[in-house]
Structure 1
Amino acid sequence: MRKNRSARIFWGMMLLSWLTIPFIGRQHIKRYLSSTMFISFLIMVESYIAEKKKWWIFPNPPHPYLTGEAALLLGPFLAGSLWIKKFTYGHFGRYMLLNAIVDTFFVYPFQRAMSRAKLFSVGTFKEYHLLGIFLLKAALMYVYQHLVVEKPKPQRALKNNPIE
Structure 2
Amino acid sequence: MKNSKLFYIALLIVPWLTIPFLGRNAFKKYLPAAIFITTFTKALDLFGEKKKWWRIYKGIPPLDSANFFNFGPYLIASLWILKFTFGKFPLYLISNLILHICFIYLGGLKFLKHYKIASLEKLTKLQYLTIHFLRGLILYGFQYINNFSNTKKHSNK
Judged with a 3 Å threshold, the aligned counterparts in structure 2 of structure 1 residues 5 and 54 are, in CA distance, closer, same or farther, namely: farther
Residue aligning to 1:94: 91
Q: CA deviation at 1:33?
A: 0.8
Q: Runs in 1 of length 4+ with deviation above 6 angstroms?
A: none
Question: What does 1:8-157 correspond to in 2, within 5 Å?
Answer: 8-59=6-57, 61-108=58-105, 109-151=107-149, 153=152
| TM-score, with structure 1 as normaliser | 0.83
Task: Give the superposition deviation at 1:118.
Answer: 4.2
What letter is aligned with 2:35? Answer: M
Identical residues among aligned pairs (%): 31
CA RMSD in angstroms, aligned pairs only: 2.0
Give the structure with higher Rg (CA): 1
Q: Distance in 1 between matches of 2:134 and 2:126?
A: 12
CA contact 1:114–1:120 (8 Å) conserved in 2:
yes
Structure 1: 5+ residue stretches without partners: 157-164
CA contact (8 A) 1:14 1:75 kept: yes
**What CA deviation, in whole Å up to 9, does each residue of 1:136-155 have, x standing for no partner?**
11111111111233336398
Return the letter of the residue paired with 2:92: Y
Query: Normalising by structure 2, what TM-score?
Result: 0.86
Structure 2 unaligned blocks of 5 or more: none
More moved, 104-113 vs 71-80: 104-113
| Matched length | 153
Structure richer in helix, relative to its length: 2
